[in-house]
Amino acid sequence: MFVIVLGAPGVGKGTQANLLSQAFTIPHISTGDILRDAYKNQTQLGIEAHRLISKGNFVPDELVIGIIKETLLEDRCTNGVVLDGFPRTLPQAKTLDALFIELNTKDLFLVNLTVGDEEIIRRLTSRRTCHDCHSVFSLIEIEDDGKCPICGGENSLFHRSDDTEEVIKKRMGIFENQTLPVINYYDETRTLITVDGAQTIANVYQDIITKINATKL
């Protein structure tokens, strides 16, 4: 079973991808995780991607696709994956389609989370990230200031430098220009499951599960 979670920054892709990973017992893989793991394993593609990132350059679509293919061929991905934050561009989406055909991938579900712009800005300006486990939380989810609710790391939470309103608006602009066409493409070529991401985490998750089960019928 393969699930792709799509949506603008701050809609809750990572949170829902993690829940779906647990529900279906398949790996949750984000673009960042893929690049870090590829470099950690010292694959040729991973080393090249790290070289580009360390110089502040973007990783080309063909390189990201190569790393995605390496990841999907790993034993842990035999039964499927939950992809979070990929594909980000139309060329990536079309190449991923070809890769799924090559790998004879079945049971592919596309989940699109939607949230209003004002709510996205509110969420991202108030979120914190854990240095240790890389989990992300909003301030209302943190009971003990400075302590990670997941790994318990002391003084491990920080506010990302790109979680300012100015930077967030730029990221939303990039999403509209580069990733929104991906969502429109999938809406035209496949069954796209759209869910209101402004609900509670539990309700968003239940909505996704209900619509995935309905799509299976």
What's the confidence (pLDDT) of residue 217? 65
Q: Residue 23 has what pLDDT?
A: 95
Q: Which residues of the chain have pLDDT under 50?
A: none
Q: Give the tens place of pLDDT for each residue, 178-215.
A: 899 999 999 999 999 999 999 988 999 999 999 999 98
Catalytic site includes residue 171? yes
- Identify whether 190 is a catalytic site residue: no
Q: How many residues does the chain have?
A: 217
User: Per the structure block, which two tokens stand in for 93?
Assistant: 């989406």
| The pLDDT value given to residue 209 | 97
Domain spans of the chain? 2-212
The pLDDT, as a whole number, for residue 85 is: 81
13 is a catalytic site residue = yes
pLDDT for the residue 140? 63
Residue 79 tokens read as 């039964």
Query: Considering 88, 94, 147, 211, which one is annotated as catalytic?
Result: 88
For the domain 2-212, what is the CATH superfamily, name and number?
P-loop containing nucleotide triphosphate hydrolases (3.40.50.300)
Please confirm, yes or no, whether 88 is among the known catalytic residues. yes
pTM of this structure: 0.81
